[in-house]
Amino acid sequence: MALWPHAGGAAPLAGNPQAGQAAFKLCASCHQVGPRARGGFGPQLTGVIGRKAASTGDYHYSEAMQKSGIVWSEERLAAFMRDPDRVVPGTRMRFWGISDEQKIADLLAYLKASAQ
Ligand code: HEC
């Protein structure tokens, strides 16, 4: 978990959006995605790839997220899924992290497909 093997590189594996939709159950207790998604316990994630961090209007982010200056590229998002607190120290997202790289690639493919 301490390793960060693909920092700076693109996700090395091809993602499968259908598998990513299934894997999104790891996120769905806190996040919504899709055309009618809204902020809930966590911000909505529709079109999150390419989006500036802390930029949805209906969610109150932590100061850490507001000041992060991040744009959610695939690489950044993959790193955040591996270890949220390492990418945004002090984030309110309490999430263990995913170490399965295939799952991360699938989730990225799903989120990319859910751009609106
Ligand atoms: C236990 C609840 C919870 C789970 C599970 C969770 N998140 Fe989060 N997430 C949050 C919270 C709360 C925030 C807001 C963090 C902040 O403001 O510091 C957040 C923020 C985010 C952001 C930043 C969004 C933005 O608008 O800047 C992304 C991206 C994200 N989560 C992705 C995911 C993904 C992908 C998963 C599943 C792999 C996931 N999260 C699982 C609670 C969760």
Q: Where in the chain are the domains?
A: 17-113
CATH code at 17-113: 1.10.760.10
Q: How far is the CA of 82 from the centre of ligand 1 (A)?
A: 12
CB 12, CB 101: distance < 8 Å: yes
What pLDDT score does 2 carry? 45
Q: Answer yes or no: is the C-beta of 43 below 6 A from any ligand 1 atom.
A: yes
Q: How far is the CA of 93 from the centre of ligand 1 (A)?
A: 5
What pLDDT score does 10 carry? 54
Among protein residues, the one with the nearest Cα to ligand 1's atom 36 is 27
Tens digits of residue pLDDT in 72-104: 999 999 999 999 999 999 999 999 899 999 999
Q: Exposed/middle/buried for 69, CB within 10 Å: 0-12, 13-18, 19+?
A: exposed
Question: What are 71's strand-pairing partners?
Answer: 52
